[in-house]
Amino acid sequence: MEPSTTSLADRFAQIPPQTAGLEETWAFLKPGVDHIMSNLKAGLTFANYINLYTVTYNYCTTKAPVGIGDTSVDLFGSGLYHKMPEYLTIHVASMKQTAILLQDEELLQYYASEWHRYTTGAYYLNRLFSYLNRHWIQRQRIQRQRDKRKKEMYPVYTLSLVQWKSQFFYFIQTDNQKLANAVLRLIERQRNGDMIDQGLVKKVVQSFVTLGFDNTYLNKECLEVYEEHFEAPFILATEQYYKKESESFLAENTVSDYLKKAEERLREEEDRVERYLHTKTRKKLIQKCEEVLIRQHAELMWDSFQNLLDFDQDEDLQRIYSLMSRISDGLDPLRKRFEVHVKQAGLSAISRLVGEGSAVDVDAKIYVDALLEVHQKNSETITRCFRGEVGFAASLDKACEGFVNRNAATGSSSTKSPELLAKHADILLRKDNKMAEGDLESTLNRVMVLFKYLEDKDIFQTFYTTKLSKRLIQGVSASDESEASMISKLKEACGFEYTNKIQRMFTDMSLSKDLTDSFKERMTQNHDDMDITFTVMVLGTNFWPLHPPTHGFTIPVEIMPTYERFTKYYQSKYSGRKLTWLWNYSKNELRTNYLNQKYILMTSAYQMVILVQYNRNDTLSLDELSAVTAISKDILSQVLALLVKAKILVNEKKDQYDLNPGFKSKKIRVNLNQRIKAEVKAESSDVLKAVDEDRKYVIRAAIVRIMKANRTMKNQALIQEVISQVSQRFVPKIPDIKKAVETLLEQEYIERVDGQRDRFAYVA
């Protein structure tokens, strides 16, 4: 029968004497201990609690009577300490009888309730025996650790947990892991979609954590009990659950549906850790889920990747990337498939562009736009779906290198893509460009996107320089700022040496303008009348990709005086220099005087020299024109064909060309200056010849530079190093490298090492 409130208070008020023995002391303390462990809120006042503490203190600090033997306080502390496990064993006994009859959630609710009551009581009991903890128990722990005794001594709170674990927890768990299985069944219900009391799960799981402790460092977290009795079976149950679910789900649903399911399940498990599991379980749990949900079905998901790409299923692509990034090497197959997909997309785009036509006739703008469209689409896919991951970006780059350099439009030629890209850049940078109105800078940046993928950047450089020279000579550049911007981009991509000649061309243009102005000023000072308005461009041979005509050219009498004056002026100013006149790059304006309407005809030098012959003749034959102009008949025929097409001349009889007196045009300024096929063909041929020559020097220079740095090298190592250094400009062919080595051997820049045919030495 429990004592009444009044009698309990009265009893605690009558404390035993300081000399009281163990039984008398415990008889006084036990009702208070019962009250504390039962969590009764009434009847135990602060004064009563102080009396309980005082009795404990008195007992632990009173010397033992003479004759007992050991007069240390250890005897008194020991007796009181050993009363505690006896008491707690009896205290827990009633709980065991109740718990054995309960199952599942009822068991968990009872366990959690009793755990809370017990640990709360143990907390206050620990404070009641704080003197015993600080002095007797602490000294005993130190002594036992020093003597390496097996039996441990614990502070009262820890002792309470030890008793709970041995007397109650293990009692339930030994019944087929009854407690842990009840928790696992509750978690399985939640995975199946049921609502559960997550707070209840958290309380029970937390008790597993609390029941583990390190005997040496009691304040250090120890997960031994948690890992053995909950975490291990939980991970196993998780594996079994998701293995069964994933196989069943995939048998009835699509891979796209499974991606959503797997992503959702992983989120749930992450949330489960946050809500009621120990944080250290997270790594093991998620790894197991990734193994079962992702790796075991990776082949199926990898195989579905192509279909997702083909139909632009962005959400599923994001999911498959997110899932595969969780497992080692999960992204590698996706990157390889993505590379193949992009390359095929690029090749298909150009194949559709070429169609049944000839690759030679491909329009530069359409070609470049088709390549850029494939790059941009897949680059955006990487950003949207693959978080800009560098591995996918590298796959994109590798794929683009493949289809940009070799496709249906290029055939077996390695020069076609650089040529078309240079042509496109040329169109963009001309005054009459309407492609990039308002945003030329961003359009040039798009050109540089493809430029990055060119293997033979030296071919682009030569074509670009050739086109630039004509823009400058003809005065048709969109602006100096745009030209400078493009040069800056090329310099940033390939270095100063790549754009050195280009920048010197602009310097020449400035110097040439000053020279022309100086000449005109001299003519004015000398009162020399100049019948025509003209500009001469004096350009350095070493920096301009310009070639004189391969045929003759007779300077017409109309411009001869000006020609002679300028030549004389230049030779007087630069006596050691020689002028080579490039009439094939010249352009002119002629005014008509034989028609009622005055027209201005914009012509090439060849057209000009033909037309001025009609100042003195109304009709001329092909032979007569060839004789008077010194232009070869094959070139002359093409130039005349343009004039006939424009109806300036009439060709009614074979090889007979008459001036058309009835010429009419809607425009006052008539542009006749169209390129002939011979010029276009010659330009490409000249570019390729120049590239071949430059490559020989680049390879030789690289070999000399490498040998100078290494002094001696084996043949194979030298070849590999040359390829490494030169490949930023073009991909060198091994036979070309070997030929360059032989040339340098003949020129005695390098020599073979005696007795070693495959080793070379640098000749200082």
State the 10-residue block means of pLDDT for the chain, 764 residues long: 50 75 88 85 75 86 51 62 91 91 95 95 90 80 68 85 94 91 97 96 96 80 93 97 97 96 97 96 97 97 96 96 96 97 96 72 91 97 97 97 94 89 94 72 94 94 92 89 93 90 90 88 74 83 84 90 90 88 90 92 94 93 94 91 94 92 93 76 73 88 92 93 89 91 91 88 86
The number of distinct structural domains making up the chain is 6
Q: Is 461 among the domain residues?
A: yes
Q: Which residues on neighbouring strands pair with residue 621, listed in sequence order?
A: 656
Nearest to 87 by CA among 143, 170, 167, 9: 167
Q: Which residues of 159-186 are buried (b: 16+ CB within 10 A; e: fewer)?
A: bbbbbbbebbbebbbeeeebbbbbbbeb
Query: Does one domain contain both 129 and 242?
Result: no
Q: What are phi and psi of 291, to 5 degrees?
A: -65, -45
Domain boundary (460, 475, 507) is at: 507
Sign of CA pseudo-dihedral 248, 251, 254, 255 = positive
SS3 659: strand
Write the secondary structure of 376-390 as one string of H (helix), E (strand) and C (coil).
Answer: HHHHHHHHHHCCCCH
CATH number at residue 537: 4.10.1030.10
The reported pLDDT for the residue numbered 1 is 37
Q: Which residue has the tokens 């000839």?
A: 358
Question: How far apart are the C-alpha atoms of 153 and 220, rounded to whole Å?
Answer: 16
Locate 85 and state its tokens.
């496990």
Q: Find the domain containing 691 and state its range.
A: 680-762
Query: Does one domain contain both 531 and 486?
Result: no
β 656-659/619-621 pair status? antiparallel
The reported pLDDT for the residue numbered 67 is 41
Domain boundary (563, 583, 603) is at: 583
User: In sequence order, what DSSP letters do the residues of 296-362 get, joined into one string?
Assistant: GGHHHHHHHHHHHHHTT-HHHHHHHHHHHTTSTTSSHHHHHHHHHHHHHHHHHHHHHHHTTS-GGG-
**Neighbouring C-alpha atoms within 13 Å toward the C-beta of 23:** 0
Query: Does one domain contain both 421 and 534?
Result: no
Which amino acid is it at 127? R
Maximum Cα interatomic distance, the chain, rounded to a whole number of Å: 155
Q: Is 227 among the domain residues?
A: no
Question: How far apart are the C-alpha atoms of 188 and 240, rounded to whole Å?
Answer: 11
Question: How far apart are the C-alpha atoms of 84 and 81, rounded to whole Å?
Answer: 6
Query: Does one domain contain both 258 and 303?
Result: yes
Q: Is 468 among the domain residues?
A: yes
Tell me the Ramachandran region of residue 67: left when phi exceeds 0, alpha when psi lies from -120 to 50, beta otherwise: left
Nearest to 276 by CA among 226, 232, 221, 241: 226
Give the helix, strand, coil percentages of the chain, each rounded to 5. 65, 5, 30
Q: Kindly report the pTM of this predicted structure.
A: 0.81
Query: Does one domain contain both 247 and 302?
Result: yes
Residue 4: Cβ within 10 Å count: 10
Q: Is 707 among the domain residues?
A: yes
Question: How far apart are the C-alpha atoms of 523 and 521, rounded to whole Å?
Answer: 5
Strand order in the sheet with 669-671: 587-591, 600-604, 669-671
CATH number at residue 281: 1.20.1310.10
Query: Does one domain contain both 274 and 246?
Result: yes
Q: Is 399 among the domain residues?
A: yes
Nearest to 652 by CA among 677, 621, 612, 606: 621
Residue 368: Cβ within 10 Å count: 25
Query: Does one domain contain both 162 and 28?
Result: yes
The reported pLDDT for the residue numbered 72 is 46
CATH number at residue 688: 1.10.10.10
Query: Does one domain contain both 488 and 420?
Result: yes
Which amino acid is it at 391? G
β 756-762/750-753 pair status? antiparallel
Query: Does one domain contain both 535 and 456?
Result: no
Q: Is 189 among the domain residues?
A: no
Query: Does one domain contain both 668 and 757?
Result: no
Which amino acid is it at 293? L
Q: Is 221 among the domain residues?
A: no
Query: Does one domain contain both 356 and 495?
Result: yes
Domain boundary (583, 598, 628) is at: 583
Q: Is 76 among the domain residues?
A: yes
* Whether the Cβ atoms of residue 420 and residue 364 lie closer than 8 Å to each other: yes
Locate 526 and state its tokens.
């000398």
Locate 688 and state its tokens.
């390729």
User: In sequence order, what DSSP letters do the residues of 227-238 get, joined into one string?
Assistant: IIIIIHHHHHHH
Q: Which CB contacts under 8 angstroms, 24+ apart, belong to 122-125?
A: 122/37, 122/156, 122/157, 122/160, 122/161, 123/157, 124/36, 125/33, 125/36, 125/37, 125/156, 125/157, 125/160
Question: How far apart are the C-alpha atoms of 471 and 493, rounded to whole Å?
Answer: 23
Query: Does one domain contain both 637 and 655?
Result: yes
Locate 539 and state its tokens.
């350009």
Q: Which residues on neighbouring strands pair with residue 704, listed in sequence order?
A: none
SS3 407: coil
